[in-house]
Each structure stands twice: as C-alpha cells, then as structure tokens.
Amino acid sequence: MSNQQIKVDLAKCDDVNCECGNGLFVQGFTLKRVPGLLIGQPKDTYVNVDQLVCASCMKMFVPPDNKKEEPKPKIEVVN
C-alpha cells in the first residue's frame, strides 16, 4: 500500500465524457450479496458499491484501467 499524496489541479486535467458524448455523471450504486456463510452470519448481507452512471444514457462509467487492482494514491484537489 502506498500512502503517497499527489496534489492535482483539476483545471489541467481532461474532462471525461461518456461514449454517448455526455459529460455529466450521477452517483449510483450496485449491490453485492455477501453470503452469510462467508461472514459467519445466518443471513446474507448486502453491500452497496458506489458507481458513476452517465446522466444521459445511464451507462456505468468504468475507467479503462479498472482491471488493474493497484492501490491508488490519495488525491488532494487544489483550489
């Protein structure tokens, strides 16, 4: 794990658009069902996972490099 902190000026970063061309995303959730057996509980439990959804076509935004499970550095936004 890396605790590296990087300061980012968002004005210098690219905007990300959905493949439909829309640039506005809304927050959504997907749900994961955690089997009770896995956590020693009699019942299954549900965990919501934050997702970004295109506000136009409702397609989930998935960063192209999302397959790599590398620890991400903490990002501090500079105003």
Please give the residue ranges that form the binding site for Zn ion (CB under 5 A).
18, 20, 22, 54, 56-57, 59
Nearer to Zn ion by Cβ, of 51 and 56: the residue is: 56
> Smallest distance from the beta carbon of 13 to Zn ion, in angstroms?
20
> Smallest distance from the beta carbon of 68 to Zn ion, in angstroms?
24
- In angstroms, the Cα distances linking 36 to 23, 31, 32, 41, 42 are 39, 15, 12, 5, 6
> Smallest distance from the beta carbon of 22 to Zn ion, in angstroms?
5
E strand map for the chain = 5-8, 25-34, 45-54, 74-77
